[in-house]
């Protein structure tokens, strides 16, 4: 019996030890640390918000320049006058001469009219679209730039060069249809001509009252007429057009010399008149 009791005691001790060993891991089970999984979600949400906010910041940094860019100087009155005079002579010189000859007779003037039309077309469309400047601007050493300092879109040059033609065509339409105001076609043509002339007048007043001497199309395209300085690396036809600026410089120098001479003469006349007035006052005092 003593041996049987020992065996039973051994069998009773074994399960007790096994239960104690299995109970320990159940108490220390760290599987309830699930809240840590929320951290990657918050980080992902922050990254998504940052990605969405990044394009907005980039858009606010893209600011369009406005006003006259730095490093450029507005063209003066004399270069503007020279440019206008050269363009007028080129565009309308041959045409006006041909029309004058045609008015005094009825000769065959097909070739002169074609030549006048080609000259207008070259200075109105071809050269401005190709080089960004017309012949008057080459002679006066001026050019148009936009707020970023680059050449404006060619539409600006086309519209700006059309102002003189608008005035001329409007004047012709009014002159040819003024006697036909009683007819519907005459009224329409006169109205179209009046609108063309009004556009030219508005452009003139805009230039006079603008701080940067900008016309209606200059304001629409943010364009400025500035002084042009050749780089010296021009070749081909561009170099030939740039050489026209030498003629404009000489003309401008002569105009400045004439103005200085006229000013000196005016000052001399004023000084002489003042001396005569002083002498006259002194003579009156001695007589008294």
Separation of alpha carbons 168 and 87, rounded Å: 14
Separation of alpha carbons 281 and 283, rounded Å: 5
pLDDT of residue 30 exceeding 60, the answer is no
Bridge pairing between strands 224-227 and 142-145: antiparallel
pLDDT of residue 54 exceeding 70, the answer is no
Separation of alpha carbons 89 and 197, rounded Å: 20
Residue 238 neighbours by CB under 8 Å, 6+ apart: 131
Q: Which residues share a beta bridge with 225?
A: 144
CB 72 within 8 A of CB 151: no
pTM higher than 0.85, yes or no? no
Q: Summarize pLDDT for 173-223 with one digit per residue, the tens.
A: 888 887 777 777 778 888 899 999 999 999 999 998 988 999 999 999 999
Separation of alpha carbons 213 and 167, rounded Å: 20
Q: Average pLDDT in the 12-20 region? A: 45
> In the prediction, which pLDDT does 64 show?
54
pLDDT of residue 10 exceeding 50, the answer is no
pLDDT of residue 28 exceeding 60, the answer is no
What is the phi-psi region of residue 43: left when phi exceeds 0, alpha when psi lies from -120 to 50, beta otherwise?
A: alpha
pLDDT band at 42 (very low <50, low <70, confident <90, very high): low
> In the prediction, which pLDDT does 277 show?
79
Instruction: Classify residue 226 by burial, with Cβ atoms within 10 Å: 0-12, 13-18, 19+.
Output: buried
> In the prediction, which pLDDT does 248 show?
86
pLDDT of residue 38 exceeding 90, the answer is no
Q: Average pLDDT in the 133-153 region? A: 91
pLDDT of residue 27 exceeding 80, the answer is no
CB 145 within 8 A of CB 152: yes
Q: Average pLDDT in the 229-237 region? A: 84
Give the chain's mean pLDDT: 78
Tell me the H-state helices in the chain.
Answer: 2-27, 38-61, 77-103, 110-121, 127-131, 135-140, 154-161, 163-177, 184-209, 216-221, 236-287
pLDDT band at 2 (very low <50, low <70, confident <90, very high): very low
The sign of the CA dihedral 276, 280, 281, 282 is positive
**Which range (78-92, 137-151, 251-265) has the least confidence?**
251-265
> In the prediction, which pLDDT does 7 show?
43
Separation of alpha carbons 146 and 252, rounded Å: 26
Q: DSSP secondary structure string, 83-101?
A: HHHHHHHHHHHHHHHHHHH
pLDDT of residue 119 exceeding 90, the answer is yes
């Amino acid at each position: 019996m003593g041996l049987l009791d020992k065996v039973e005691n051994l069998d009773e001790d074994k399960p007790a030890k096994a239960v104690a060993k299995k109970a320990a891991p159940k108490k220390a089970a760290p599987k309830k640390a699930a809240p840590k999984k929320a951290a990657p979600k918050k980080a992902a949400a922050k990254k998504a918000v940052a990605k969405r906010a990044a394009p907005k910041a980039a858009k606010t940094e893209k600011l369009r320049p406005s006003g006259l860019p730095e490093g450029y100087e507005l063209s003066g009155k004399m270069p503007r006058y020279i440019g206008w005079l050269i363009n007028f002579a080129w565009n309308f010189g041959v045409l006006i001469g041909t029309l004058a000859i045609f008015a005094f007779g009825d000769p065959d003037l097909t070739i002169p009219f074609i030549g006048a039309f080609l000259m207008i077309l070259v200075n109105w469309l071809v050269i401005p679209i190709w080089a960004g400047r017309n012949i008057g601007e080459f002679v006066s050493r001026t050019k148009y730039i936009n707020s970023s300092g680059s050449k404006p879109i060619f539409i600006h040059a086309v519209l700006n060069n059309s102002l003189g033609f608008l005035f001329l065509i409007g004047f012709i339409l009014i002159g040819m249809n003024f006697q036909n105001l009683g007819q519907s076609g005459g009224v329409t043509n006169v109205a179209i001509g009046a609108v063309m002339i009004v556009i030219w007048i508005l452009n003139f007043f805009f230039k006079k009252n603008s701080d940067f001497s900008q016309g209606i199309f200059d304001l629409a395209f943010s364009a400025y007429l500035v002084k042009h300085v050749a780089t010296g690396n021009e070749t081909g036809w561009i170099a030939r057009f740039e050489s026209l600026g030498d003629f404009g410089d000489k003309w401008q120098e002569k105009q400045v010399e004439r103005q200085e001479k006229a000013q000196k003469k005016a000052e001399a006349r004023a000084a002489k008149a003042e001396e005569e007035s002083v002498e006259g006052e002194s003579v009156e005092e001695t007589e008294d």
